[in-house]
DNA sequence: CCCAAAATGTACGATCCAGTTAAGTCTGGT
DNA sequence: ACCAGACTTAACTGGATCGTACATTTTGGG
């Protein structure tokens, strides 16, 4: 197993792994059934450890939830950091960013579902997390730089607001995942098939590019 | 309660009003705190009647939730039915539909929040409601007719899929409400001010129109 | 006026479930 | 070897909360 872990000199017990195990299962469960819908006992049953350890490491249910949320945000932004947009022309960079976001959210449905749950709770935990906030400022900064390049090159129109642009990209990419259950049960799931999603992705990228382009 | 007033023996119990009262409060509460987050006792406390009546009329908590959901869908679709699109040119009709949807969802945050909650539950209750399904087919039919007119007039490009178009309109209008808490706590609430919303609304309408228009 | 059915009030049972108590075991350092 | 503290286990508690049993009132019909 993952015993090779990192610091702390060679422990046989592996608290870091235990913590990570709990967090992994908790994330999954909270994403699946929400905060009040999730049972600590069920999380405990699925981990390799016991309920007591959840309280030992995370204090209480909301502490566990808050950390799961923070870890999920961190993981997602970490993924985005992989993108190398600087070498590309602004329009290509934006196309890539949009397409990436669309794919990425699809692949990280648990994260999107946690965000939904956060919204049901009026973002009570996001509000209190400076970690999450700074992660997201990073995303806006990246977009702002991209817009500046695009304007300078005369490819993008003037006056684009990075937050408003992020809103549009997110609207598509988040809705696609967050509302899949109701949407597919009402209108069928053709749109969520591989080919449906690839069409959607293409049109989303195109819509955003047309929105920013000059003229 | 109104026991003192017995001038005529004719005062009636009003079961329909009791039901409606329960449903109104329940909708509000479920929208605010979710299915498992909502306490039946609290709903009961806020109604004019007692917990006993909730069970009398709705069976159990999930029955109450299911009926609240159904009523919310019905009310929203009823609102949309007010729109008279037939007299307008296809592009104007679409602009109006999109703008209306954007505004309407904003004004009916409770409905959007119920939909989010439904999505957290994987649409378990929407799936079982043929009432809700037929209400939504109606919305797609309206869009299909509009697309047909637009194609015939040469205003819209060929091959538009009404479900995919509905997806795009919904993505913007739903996301705007459903993710307001996290979004505004991360990026500020300028975008949710009156002027921010009106800019957003305008750009959303424009994006959809550019998407459908013949190249 | 009387009766069955519909509607409502009261009080309680049963269970679920977050969090705790208490009694340990394992670890590396000295 | 042995200690202090990190970690683990299982049983338990107490309050929250869904749902119900049973009594009572109200209503419409005969």
Please tell me the predicted confidence (pLDDT) of residue A12.
Answer: 57
Interface of A with B in 134-163 (CB under 8 A): 136, 140, 163
Q: Do B119 and A180 touch (CB under 8 A)?
A: yes
Residues 5-44 (A) with a CB less than 8 A from some CB of B: 33-37
Nearest to A6 by CA among A19, B80, B84: A19
Determine the Cα–Cα distance for residues A52 and A144; give it in Å rounded to an integer.
Answer: 46
Taking residue B211's Cβ as centre, other Cβ atoms within 10 Å add up to 21
User: So where are chain A's domains?
Assistant: 70-212
Residue partners of B65: CB distance under 8 A and separation at least 6: B26, B30, B35, B125
Would you say the C-beta of B40 is within 7 Å of strand D?
Answer: yes
* Rg (chain B; Cα; Å): 21
User: What distance, in Å, lies between the first and last C-alpha atoms of chain A?
Assistant: 57
Sign of the dihedral defined by the CA atoms of residues B69, B71, B72, B76, in that order: positive
Q: Which residue, among B112, B171, B172, B191, would best test binding to A if mutated, counting the most A CBs under 10 Å from its CB? A: B171
B205 in Cβ contact with B99 (< 8 Å): yes
Q: Cβ(A115)–Cβ(A183) under 8 Å?
A: no
Q: HSE (CB half, 13 Å, CA atoms) of A89? A: 8
Nearest to A120 among B116, B186, B206 (CB): B116
Measure the N-to-C terminal CA separation of chain B; round to a whole number of Å. 67
- Which residues in chain A are closer than 8 Å to B74, comparing Cβ atoms? none
pTM above 0.75, yes or no: yes
pLDDT tens for each residue of A49-82: 889 999 999 999 999 999 999 999 998 888 888 8
Integer distance in angstroms from CA B71 to C1' C19? Answer: 38
Q: How far is residue A61's CA from residue A192's CA, in Å, rounded to a whole number? A: 34
Residues facing residue A213 across a β-bridge: A156
Residues 6+ apart with CB under 8 A from A191: A183, A184, A197, A200, B163, B164, B167
| Residue bearing tokens 């990425």 | A104
Q: CA-nearest residue of chain B to A132?
A: B186
In angstroms, the CA of B3 and the C1' of C1 are apart by 23
Percent of chain A with pLDDT over 70: 94
- Please tell me the CATH code under which domain A70-212 is placed: 1.10.357.10
Percent of chain A whose predicted confidence (pLDDT) is above 90: 80
What kind of fold does domain B69-212 have according to CATH?
Tetracycline Repressor; domain 2 (1.10.357)
Q: Which of B77, B167, B199 to mutate to test the interface with A (most CBs of A within 10 A)?
A: B167
d(C-alpha A99, C-alpha A198), whole Å: 10
Distance CA(B194)–CA(B44), nearest Å, equals 36
Q: What is the pLDDT along chain A (215 residues), one digit of tens a residue?
A: 333 333 333 455 677 888 889 999 999 999 999 999 999 999 999 998 889 999 999 999 999 999 999 999 998 888 888 898 889 999 999 999 999 999 999 999 999 999 999 999 999 999 999 999 999 999 999 999 999 999 999 999 999 999 999 999 999 999 999 999 999 999 999 999 999 999 999 999 999 999 999 87
């Amino acid at each position: 197993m993952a015993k090779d872990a990192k610091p702390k000199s060679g422990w046989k017990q592996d608290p870091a792994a235990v913590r990570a195990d709990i967090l992994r299962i908790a994330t999954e469960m909270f994403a699946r059934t929400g905060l009040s819908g999730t049972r600590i006992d069920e999380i405990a049953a699925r981990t390799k450890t016991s309920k007591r350890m959840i309280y030992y490491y995370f204090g209480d249910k909301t502490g566990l939830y808050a950390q799961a949320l923070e870890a999920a945000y961190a993981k997602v932004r970490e993924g985005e950091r992989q993108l190398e947009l600087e070498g590309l022309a602004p329009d290509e960079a934006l196309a890539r960013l949009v397409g990436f976001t669309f794919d990425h959210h699809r692949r990280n449905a648990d994260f999107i579902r946690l965000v939904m749950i956060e919204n049901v709770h009026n973002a009570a935990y996001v509000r209190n997390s400076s970690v999450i906030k700074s992660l997201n400022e990073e995303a806006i900064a990246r977009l702002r730089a991209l817009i500046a390049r695009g304007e300078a090159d005369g490819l993008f129109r003037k006056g684009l607001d990075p937050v408003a642009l992020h809103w549009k990209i997110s609207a598509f990419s988040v809705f696609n995942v967050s509302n899949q259950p109701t949407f597919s049960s009402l209108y069928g799931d053709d749109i969520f098939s591989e080919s449906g999603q690839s069409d959607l992705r293409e049109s989303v990228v195109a819509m955003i590019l047309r929105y920013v382009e000059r003229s």
